[in-house]
Structure 1
Amino acid sequence: MQRRTYDVAVVGAGIVGSATAYHLARAGQRVVLVERSGVAAEASDAGAGMLTPLAEAGAGDLSDPLLRLGLAGLRHYQTLEAQLESETGMWAGLVHLPTLYPAFDDGQAEALRRDLAALQTLRPELGWLEADEVRQREPLLAPSVRGAILSPAEGNVAIGHLTRLLVRAAQLHGAELLIPRSALALLWDGVRVQGVLTEEGVIEAAHVVLATGAWSSAWHAQGERTAIVFPLKGQLLALRPSGQPLRHTIYAGPLGYLVPKADGSVFVGATSERRGFDKTPTAAGLAQLLAVVRRVVPALEEAAVERTWAGLRPVSADGLPFIGEAPSSPGLWLAVGHGRVGAITGPVTGFIIAELIQGRPVPYELDLRPFAPERLGAWRRRLTPLSAAGAGGRQLELFSQPATAAEAEAAAEEERRERP
């Protein structure tokens, strides 16, 4: 059986895993990135890429953990963009167009005005635009607009492109990409993680980072049936305007959003559907997205439809990601469950994990307690161990993940029988 040894093994090459691998490799760690299908193959190449943390400040709540993590993410992008472009000589994927938060009735306008003062304590550059100013800045918006918050620093990113660039930069710093390669099991020596087993052999590592997206429940002690992390389907639509371009990212609250991309297309999103792992676009989803266009930017109703698609957001049971080392399993790190805010929080999560693995303080003075990895239970499975010869002749344990729902149920039943 082939055996490889690294400082860190990262499982999953979406935006979170790729950022983790990049920051670790850049710091001189020996890193391997293990991916079963393709870089940015799932949610990281399906999202609209909005960098709008202020969208999480519902009713002006400045204590929201996702808001705080997103604001740190916005700061992190400033450094990350410059680093990547310097190291690779390539565009990092950021679109520096401002964001508008419009109101389409007097009640919405009043609510946004109330929130603005509090939000300006976090981002002083925010401003209020009256209806005439909004229409002047963004002529494509519906005439019924009553005003808007203007956020100059919140843009958007080509998230799939950025993910692939992070992997490229990580490789420039010495990281190894194993693809396609499935991580079949966690490797243990007593309590501490020692690596992962793949179909082509053992990967030994002092640290294992799970960045496994919507499939992460397979690694949780309670199994997939408890939906610790579940897929939330989001359908999107890409339009090609024939006239003047959209000048801002438009976040219209519960109505939806429109995101102008660097190539001139406009992404319209998004639905939120519990449909398991189905990613099929539907007529109902398309109708919902077209309603967003009609209500928010009716001038784009004549735009050409380029494509429709869907992705699977990895949403945690309580709506917050899991970030950090699992207390009951030293060496096992979680970076999963980022839901619909992966574009803004994914890269900074990778940086956080990299810093913590190196024994450094939590960056950006963040409080990670709301994101505690084991707040909903342990991530180590209690399954029958398989023997594997470890380094130095010691015996290691391989705790495998169930491949099917039936196996998950059988494992859960076995665990219930073992309980006193």
Structure 2
Amino acid sequence: MSKIYDAVIVGGGIIGCSIAFQLVKRGLRVLVIEKERMISEASSAAAGMLGAQSEFSSDSPMIPLALKSRAMFPQLADELKELTRIDIGLVQKGLIKLAFTESELCELQQQYQFWKTLDSSVRWLQRTELHELEPNVTAEVSGAMYIPNDGQVRAGDLSLAFAKAASVSGAEIREYTEVVSFVTENDQVRGVVTKSEFIYADNVIVAVGAWSAKLLRETGIELQMHPVKGECLSVITEQPLLQATVFAKNGCYIVPKWGNRLLIGATSIANTFHKHVSVQGIYRLLERAQQIMPQLAEAKWEKTWAGIRPQTGDGLPYIGEHPIYKGLWMATGHYRNGILLSPITGVLVADLITKGKHENMNLSSFQLSRKNGITLIT
């Protein structure tokens, strides 16, 4: 049978939709396949932080990707709004990272020392400066670092905008269709197998997040990756209490959204695909959030939810071609940085497929064949 698609993307989350958008812009015939409804997993559960600097305390191959991707958002926001009329809610009012204990203070000071040599806009805040920026954050902090260029978006709207932009640009989307296997021939991918049909393509891109490892086992590799559940909640306040995002070293963050809404997250519960929200998890988040902002005790409760994030063994995502089958590509394992890295991941994968390389990025650290990246199944 002749080829129908240039590329089939398995996974209708933000990474898959970003790749689809970039591929159709390059003139490829693209199909996105999602086993549930589009944007139904981690993409819609995320807080939307663009923590290109707040996530890293030392040198990492992720940093060039993170900084490049963050820089893409202003232009991307305009492009997506023009195509889809969806406002992704880009806010560029910075992020304040907080320490409460002596050990947290030491770690935060090390992070500040690392970044101040690379970015002069990063500031260490005295208590008076913190109070001037965010008067509703408690004064009982041990230290605070201000990162003015780490912003935020509305994750669900960004994901939906990528999906709609890909669709209006020519991509085909199939929901409630599960890919169960691959069509291969002589170490070359030829398409995918769903529960009802064979779909043929020159390239297949796996972007199903934490579910990628299960799907790829039959191809002879075991990804070093596991699921991590993150629980979140939101509250609404009478008056706006925050301008910047605040992120405590204990793992709790508070992200101000439209309508005096505050998004509070997130727990990290490894090795589970169950998305139920636990009383203990929410209790701990509320306790930590009120330590940051005592006024939250008077906030109006809105809702809770959870998402499943894909965490790799070395903390780096998989971006590249399968080590055995040509034309089979991976874009998964972004963990907490899927929203931030979605623009650059789409460009990188599209460049790899259409050009065979990306000229300005060293992607060796993200290949599946990297040290401790995968295990070959014999």
TM-score of the alignment, normalized to the shorter chain, above 0.5? yes
Q: Post-superposition shift, 1:227?
A: 6.6
1:406 corresponds to which residue? none
Q: Which amino acid is the alignment partner of residue 24 of structure 2?
A: A
Higher mean Cα deviation, 126-135 or 12-21?
A: 126-135
- Correspondence for 2:329 among 314, 333, 339: 333
1:7 partnered with 2:6: yes
Q: Which amino acid is the alignment partner of residue 50 of structure 1?
A: M
Q: Post-superposition shift, 1:111?
A: 4.7
Higher mean Cα deviation, 192-201 or 14-23?
A: 192-201
Say whether the 8 Å CA contact 2:231–2:305 is kept in structure 1. yes
1:273 corresponds to which residue? 269
TM-score by length of 1: 0.83
2:99 corresponds to which residue? 103
Equivalent runs, 1:230-249 vs 2, <5 Å = 230-249=226-245
- Correspondence for 2:374 among 372, 377, 387: 377
Q: Post-superposition shift, 1:222?
A: 7.4
Q: Post-superposition shift, 1:50?
A: 1.0
- Correspondence for 1:213 among 209, 212, 217: 209
Alignment partners' CA distance in 2, 1:110 and 1:167: 42
Alignment partners' CA distance in 2, 1:41 and 1:224: 28
Alignment partners' CA distance in 1, 2:375 and 2:100: 45
Q: Post-superposition shift, 1:353?
A: 0.3
1:34 corresponds to which residue? 33
Say whether the 8 Å CA contact 1:21–1:350 is kept in structure 2. yes
Higher mean Cα deviation, 95-104 or 298-307?
A: 95-104
Q: Post-superposition shift, 1:249?
A: 0.4
Q: Which amino acid is the alignment partner of residue 348 of structure 1?
A: I
Q: Post-superposition shift, 1:193?
A: 0.5
Q: Post-superposition shift, 1:108?
A: 4.5
Alignment partners' CA distance in 2, 1:53 and 1:94: 15
**Please, what is the CA RMSD of the aligned residues?**
2.4
Q: Which amino acid is the alignment partner of residue 377 of structure 1?
A: I
Alignment partners' CA distance in 1, 2:177 and 2:344: 25
Say whether the 8 Å CA contact 1:95–1:261 is kept in structure 2. no
Cα distance per residue 1:362-411 (max 9 Å; x no partner)? 26x332112112333378xxxxxxxxxxxxxxxxxxxxxxxxxxxxxxxx
**Where does the alignment leave 5 or more consecutive residues of structure 1 unmatched?**
380-414
1:368 corresponds to which residue? 363
1:45 corresponds to which residue? 44
Alignment partners' CA distance in 2, 1:113 and 1:277: 35
Say whether the 8 Å CA contact 1:142–1:296 is kept in structure 2. yes
Distance 1:319 1:223, change over 3 A: farther
Say whether the 8 Å CA contact 1:3–1:203 is kept in structure 2. no
Equivalent runs, 1:140-219 vs 2, <5 Å = 140-219=136-215
- Aligned residue for 2:227, secondary structure, equals strand
Alignment partners' CA distance in 2, 1:100 and 1:49: 15
Alignment partners' CA distance in 2, 1:377 and 1:146: 41
Q: Post-superposition shift, 1:106?
A: 6.0
Q: Post-superposition shift, 1:112?
A: 3.5
Q: Which amino acid is the alignment partner of residue 318 of structure 1?
A: D
Alignment partners' CA distance in 1, 2:211 and 2:247: 29
1:133 partnered with 2:129: yes
- Aligned residue for 2:184, secondary structure, equals strand
Q: Which amino acid is the alignment partner of residue 7 of structure 1?
A: D
- Aligned residue for 1:135, secondary structure, equals helix
Asked which structure has the greater CA Rg, the reply is 1
1:317 corresponds to which residue? 313
Alignment partners' CA distance in 2, 1:169 and 1:350: 13
Q: Post-superposition shift, 1:346?
A: 2.5
Cα distance per residue 1:206-242 (max 9 Å; x no partner)? 1100001111111233799967322111111111112
1:54 corresponds to which residue? 53
Distance 1:244 1:283, change over 3 A: same
Alignment partners' CA distance in 2, 1:244 and 1:163: 26
Q: Post-superposition shift, 1:205?
A: 1.0
Say whether the 8 Å CA contact 2:221–2:374 is kept in structure 1. no
1:228 corresponds to which residue? 224
1:20 partnered with 2:19: yes
1:304 partnered with 2:300: yes
- Aligned residue for 2:213, secondary structure, equals helix
Say whether the 8 Å CA contact 1:193–1:206 is kept in structure 2. yes
**Identity over aligned residues, as a percent?**
32
Alignment partners' CA distance in 2, 1:333 and 1:64: 23
Q: Post-superposition shift, 1:33?
A: 0.6
TM-score by length of 2: 0.92
Cα distance per residue 1:331-383 (max 9 Å; x no partner)? 000001111111112332122101111116426x332112112333378xxxx
Q: Post-superposition shift, 1:113?
A: 4.1
Cα distance per residue 1:265-297 (max 9 Å; x no partner)? 111111111252111111101111111112211
Q: Post-superposition shift, 1:4?
A: 6.8
Q: Which amino acid is the alignment partner of residue 39 of structure 2?
A: A
